[in-house]
């Protein structure tokens, strides 16, 4: 194998590695931004757009890099990437962990959170032109691959060119290919491999935080390998000439002068990242705990609540977080009785706290149960509710229950977990309960059952994955499976705080054929201050007139808060002009909150 | 193309494209005329209602029957003086403190800015001006100026310190009767409005006022109108 042959092969391997890293960095950023800000499509599309734009800017400016120092500039680029990519990741997390003054415009935060995407794209833009120049300068006429692979490649090439010739005017090229074509080809292969490895291995097996450090380690090691191979810092003297020679007629090292400081930085980064990757479980757990704790604390006024994450688990569908919240404010605790209590989140959305677990389900179950008869002949469908608590409340009325929830793993966990058992009291053993682990939308399309009551105990509309459960098609499926007097019940976001979501939600429900609504709150004195507080807002929807909510004939909960329910009346579902409904095939992203 | 021209052209293209992400496409706060004036004299806050009260809304009242409709928010706002922000203690539907809409979302100056004019011009056919009646008025002390800066509540009702049902033309509230440490500072005045003809509940129009205590008495320093987005 000639001197330049191996040099070219090494440069192509490097192209593969840096391309792999570059693509996966952007996947990691996209997912991180989705986790934090919501809106999968929005975040991925903007990240990819910014990435390609920054790549273009970097590539355009690469012509200004000194042509006598391609190797050195490539090394600088790779060290910078290895340093900047994880730092950018931590910057995005930090932005959402610290309290940002209200005076800071949202556009500034939006921009700063996307800076890592731009910087990584810009630096990656240098890579291909530099590598192309280096490959072009290598002057290799031979192939670095074994003969049989070379032969196979030639046959494949012949066949591909023949196919191209059907439509294009082609000229079969033999011998050395241009540096641009081989580097680009290797770049795309690296990108594809990056996508597959990230989707099938890195993200599901390691998670986002270790992945970014694995990539940075790979980047740093590639930098060191490049320097070791193409500079005077070769490991052995015997083959120095091979390693540093550019072409047959020159003996100039590709990396003429290695900045010692940069080399030390690169070595330190490599060692640090290796340490982090070796202890990735502990790093992942600690970093995510810190982020989550700070993020949840920021939901309260400054210095009023301390959060301690006690447990985390990631199922196939959601991230389950358990934590203790402790009141640290100066006055009386307005959130719950006592100083501490346990809560549960699915992703970023709070699902359950000790202080209101019961009253939330009073609102979801006990209020609408005042509108239907008790007994086995009443058929109820619960969509979601994997914590079994709604089932426990329904059991009190001896009704027949079908439950459909996507996350069987979460449902199994909650069966025996002491925190949940306290609230569901082994309700999964209820003899009139039939549980199906499936997607609620798909279940409703396939079942022939009809229900007197459909309870939607589903997560908030924070993610594109949930668009279907807030769509006209889903609500229409629910309506079609209601009995003649059937109703649908759901909790709802504040119309003042999320006006666009609310209007889209209401128009969507209306478009699905629901014409009557009964809005109400669940109530309880959660902080023992002798004042009853609002717990959650709910709606009962029906396609036609239904019997009024009668306090006298209501459930024990409705009678307990009779002054809150005595004047609840059915109304027409309002419609708002200029607000498009959310449909599966024509989504209205206004239905998502926090995007 | 020369490199600099290329970079300039792509830069302009990128900024234009990103403008679509950064720009505010949300509808502006709704316009209304509910309270005409506030005055503070002799330790009393005087709230005067507008003679012709109206609100602009995208609510489509054309096919809505008023026979069965009733206000939603009135009863639920009563007596909620706990610390749960008057919006539900769970945080499911509210998103918590940091995600509460700030100036850019739920709050607005009286006028609302040029983008509000443009929005109303562009959506003229979607918006209707409805005559309304005030069925309840609430007054709540929000805190000192520093507290308000850190914890400005979003649009809508909050736990009221005092609530007036079916108020007449003018309502008075004695600031001087409050505990001395909680007299000067920010107050929220909220009016629950219901369509006069449609009987549709348009929820709350709110105003945040800053009252200072000087040697010559109480002064009204700042007033903000806090409306939900239309």
The total number of structural domains that make up chain B: 1
Q: What residue in B sits closest to A566 (Cα-Cα)?
A: B75
d(CA A397, CA A402): 14
Mean confidence (pLDDT) of chain A: 88
CA A594 to chain centre: 13
Distance from CA of B28 to the nearest CA of A (A): 11
Structure tokens, A249: 């007629």
| Fold designation for A355-591 | Rossmann fold (3.40.50)
d(CA A469, CA A332): 39
Name chain B contacts of A493, Cβ cutoff 8 Å: 92-94
d(CA A583, CA A591): 10
Residue A138 reports pLDDT greater than 70 = yes
Is B165 a member of any domain?
yes
Residue A498 reports pLDDT greater than 80 = yes
d(CA B21, CA A335): 36
Distance from CA of A74 to the nearest CA of B (A): 21
> Count of residues for chain A?
595
Is B15 a member of any domain?
no
Bigger pLDDT: A348 vs A204: A204
d(CA A462, CA A472): 17
Q: Which of A495, A267, A300, A311 is nearest to A420 (CA)?
A: A311
CA dihedral A41, A43, A48, A50 (to 10 degrees): 140
Name chain B contacts of A353, Cβ cutoff 8 Å: 90
Return the number of CB contacts < 8 Å for A and B: 194
Bigger pLDDT: B78 vs A375: A375
> Which ipTM score applies to this complex?
0.76
pLDDT digits (tens, 9 = 90+) for A38-60: 777 888 999 999 999 999 999 98
Look up tokens 């989504």; give the residue: A587
pLDDT at site B75: 31
A350 at interface of B, judged by CB pairs closer than 8 A? yes
3-class state of residue A498 by DSSP: coil
d(CA A480, CA A482): 6
Bigger pLDDT: A595 vs A559: A559
Structure tokens, B101: 């809409």
Q: Which of A492, A534, A594 sits opposite B95 (nearest CB)?
A: A594
Residue B163 reports pLDDT greater than 50 = yes
Is B41 a member of any domain?
yes
Q: Which of A429, A460, A421 is nearest to A342 (CA)?
A: A421
A289-to-A179, A284, A292, A575, B122 alpha-carbon distances in Å? 47, 8, 5, 43, 47
Is B48 a member of any domain?
yes
Mean pLDDT of B74-99: 45
Mean pLDDT of A565-570: 92
Q: Which of B69, B86, B229 sits opposite A534 (nearest CB)?
A: B86
Name chain A contacts of B86, Cβ cutoff 8 Å: 534
Name chain B contacts of A107, Cβ cutoff 8 Å: 22
Is B105 a member of any domain?
yes
- Those residues with Cβ within 8 angstroms of residue B14's Cβ, 6 or more apart along the chain or in another chain: A53
Judged by CB atoms closer than 8 Å, whether chains meet at A575 and B63 is answered as yes
Q: Determine the CATH number of domain A3-142+179-284.
A: 1.20.1250
Distance from CA of A570 to the nearest CA of B (A): 7
Maximum mean pLDDT: which of A79-88, A150-159, A230-239, A564-573: A79-88
Judged by CB atoms closer than 8 Å, whether chains meet at B82 and A567 is answered as no
pLDDT band at B98 (very low <50, low <70, confident <90, very high): very low
Alpha helix ranges (H) inside A481-548:
499-511
Judged by CB atoms closer than 8 Å, whether chains meet at B96 and A503 is answered as no
Q: Which of A60, A499, A521 sits opposite B229 (nearest CB)?
A: A499
Distance from CA of A68 to the nearest CA of B (A): 20
A548 at interface of B, judged by CB pairs closer than 8 A? no
DSSP for A124-172, written as a single string = HHHHHHHHHHHHHHH---S--S-HHHHHHHHHHHHHHHHHHTTTS----
Complete edge-to-edge strand list for the sheet that includes strand A400-405: A433-437, A400-405, A379-384, A451-457, A482-491, A533-542, A516-524, A571-572
Binding-face residues of B in 10-69 toward A, CB within 8 A: 10-11, 14, 17-18, 21-22, 26-27, 58-60, 63-65, 68-69
Is B16 a member of any domain?
no
The structure's pTM equals 0.78
Element counts in chain A: helices (H) and strands (E): 19, 12
Residue A34 reports pLDDT greater than 80 = yes
pLDDT band at B24 (very low <50, low <70, confident <90, very high): low
Is B169 a member of any domain?
yes
pLDDT digits (tens, 9 = 90+) for A379-435: 999 999 999 999 999 999 999 999 999 999 999 999 999 999 999 999 999 999 999
For A186, counting Cβ atoms within 10 Å of its Cβ (0-12 exposed, 13-18 middle, 19+ buried), the class is buried
Q: Which of B82, B104, B119, B203 should we substitute to test contact with A (largest number of A Cβ atoms within 10 Å)?
A: B82
Residue B1 reports pLDDT greater than 60 = no
Residue B70 reports pLDDT greater than 60 = no
- The CB-based long-range contact list for B147-151 (8 Å cut-off, 24+ gap) reads B147/B185, B147/B186, B148/B185, B148/B186, B148/B208, B148/B210, B149/A102, B150/A102, B150/A301, B150/A302, B151/A301, B151/B97
Show the domain range for B172: 27-226
Residue B68 reports pLDDT greater than 80 = no
Task: Quote the DSSP letter at residue A593.
Answer: S
Q: Which of B7, B11, B88, B181 should we substitute to test contact with A (largest number of A Cβ atoms within 10 Å)?
A: B88
Distance from CA of A64 to the nearest CA of B (A): 10
Q: Which of B69, B89, B144, B205 should we substitute to test contact with A (largest number of A Cβ atoms within 10 Å)?
A: B89
Q: Which sequence spans correspond to the domains of chain A?
A: 3-142+179-284, 292-351, 355-591
Lowest mean pLDDT of A89-103, A274-288, A352-366, B26-40, name the range.
A89-103
Q: Which of B60, B99, B155 sits opposite A577 (nearest CB)?
A: B60
């Amino acid at each position: 194998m000639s001197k330049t042959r191996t040099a070219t092969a090494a440069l192509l391997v490097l192209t593969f590695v840096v391309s792999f890293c570059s693509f996966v960095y952007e996947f990691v950023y996209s997912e991180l931004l989705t986790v934090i800000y919501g809106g999968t499509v929005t975040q991925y599309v903007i990240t990819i757009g910014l990435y390609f734009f920054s790549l273009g800017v970097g590539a355009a400016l690469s012509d200004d890099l000194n042509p006598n120092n391609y190797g050195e500039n490539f090394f600088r680029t790779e060290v910078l990437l290895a340093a900047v990519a994880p730092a950018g990741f931590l910057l995005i997390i930090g932005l959402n962990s610290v309290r940002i003054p209200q005076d800071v415009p949202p556009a500034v935060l939006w921009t700063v959170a996307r800076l890592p995407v731009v910087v990584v794209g810009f630096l990656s833009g240098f890579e291909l032109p530099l590598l192309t120049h280096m490959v072009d300068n290598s002057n290799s006429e031979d192939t670095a691959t074994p003969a049989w692979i070379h032969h196979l490649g030639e046959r494949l090439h012949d066949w591909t060119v023949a196919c191209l010739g059907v439509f294009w005017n082609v000229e079969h090229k033999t011998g050395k290919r241009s540096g641009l074509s081989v580097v680009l080809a290797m770049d795309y292969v690296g990108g594809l491999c990056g996508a597959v490895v990230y989707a099938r291995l890195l993200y599901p097996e390691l998670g986002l935080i270790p992945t970014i450090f694995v990539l940075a380690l790979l980047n740093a090691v590639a930098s060191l390998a490049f320097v070791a191979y193409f500079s005077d810092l070769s490991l052995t003297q015997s083959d120095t000439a091979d390693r540093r020679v550019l072409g047959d007629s020159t003996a100039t090292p590709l990396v003429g002068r290695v900045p010692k400081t940069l080399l030390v930085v690169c070595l330190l980064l490599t060692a640090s990242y290796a340490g982090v990757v070796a202890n990735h479980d502990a790093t992942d757990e600690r970093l995510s705990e810190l982020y989550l704790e700070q993020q949840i604390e920021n939901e309260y006024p400054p210095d009023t609540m301390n959060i301690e994450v006690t447990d985390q688990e990631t199922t196939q569908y959601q991230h389950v977080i358990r934590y203790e919240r402790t009141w640290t404010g100066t006055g009386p605790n307005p959130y719950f009785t006592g100083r501490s209590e346990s809560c549960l989140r699915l992703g970023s959305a709070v699902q359950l706290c000790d202080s209101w677990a019961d009253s939330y389900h009073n609102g979801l179950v006990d209020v609408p149960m005042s509108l239907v008869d008790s007994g086995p002949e009443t058929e109820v469908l619960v969509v979601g509710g994997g914590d079994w608590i709604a089932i426990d409340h329904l059991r009190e009325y001896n009704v027949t229950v079908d439950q459909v929830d996507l996350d069987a793993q979460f449902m199994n966990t909650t069966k025996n977990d002491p925190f949940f058992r306290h609230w569901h009291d082994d309700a999964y053993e209820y003899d009139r309960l039939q549980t199906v682990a499936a997607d609620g939308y798909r279940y409703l399309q396939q079942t022939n059952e009809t229900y007197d009551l459909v309870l939607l105990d589903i997560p908030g509309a924070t993610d594109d994955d949930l668009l279907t459960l807030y769509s006209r098609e889903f609500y229409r499926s629910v309506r079609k499976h209601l009995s003649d007097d059937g109703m649908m019940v759901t909790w709802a976001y504040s119309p003042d705080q999320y006006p666009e979501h609310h209007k889209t939600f209401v128009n969507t429900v209306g478009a699905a054929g629901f014409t009557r609504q009964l809005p109400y709150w669940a109530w309880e004195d959660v902080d023992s201050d002798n004042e009853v507080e609002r717990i959650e807002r709910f709606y009962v929807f029906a396609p036609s007139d239904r019997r009024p909510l009668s306090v006298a004939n209501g459930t024990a909960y409705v009678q307990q808060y009779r002054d809150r329910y005595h004047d609840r009346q059915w109304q027409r579902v309002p419609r708002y002009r200029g607000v498009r409904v959310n449909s599966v095939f024509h989504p209205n992203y206004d239905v998502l909150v926090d995007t | 193309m020369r490199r600099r021209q290329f970079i300039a052209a792509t830069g302009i293209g990128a900024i234009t494209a990103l403008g679509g992400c950064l720009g505010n496409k949300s509808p502006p706060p709704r316009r209304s005329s509910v309270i005409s004036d506030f005055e503070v004299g002799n330790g009393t806050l005087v709230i005067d209602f507008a003679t012709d009260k109206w609100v602009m809304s995208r609510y489509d009242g054309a096919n809505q029957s008023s026979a069965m409709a009733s206000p939603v928010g009135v009863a639920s706002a009563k007596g909620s003086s706990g610390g749960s922000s008057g919006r539900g203690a769970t945080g499911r539907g509210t998103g918590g403190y940091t995600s509460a809409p700030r100036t850019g979302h739920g709050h607005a100056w009286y006028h609302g800015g040029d983008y509000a004019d443009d929005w109303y011009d562009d959506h003229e056919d979607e918006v209707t001006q409805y005559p309304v009646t005030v069925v309840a008025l609430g007054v709540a002390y929000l805190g000192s100026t520093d507290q308000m800066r850190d914890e400005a509540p979003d649009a809508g009702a909050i736990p009221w310190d005092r609530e007036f049902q079916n108020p007449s033309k003018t309502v008075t509230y004695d600031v001087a009767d409050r505990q001395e440490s909680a007299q000067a500072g920010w107050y929220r005045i909220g009016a629950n409005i219901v369509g006069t003809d449609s009987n549709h509940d348009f929820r709350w129009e709110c105003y945040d006022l800053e009252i200072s205590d000087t040697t010559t008495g109480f002064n009204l320093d700042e007033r903000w109108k806090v409306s939900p987005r239309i």
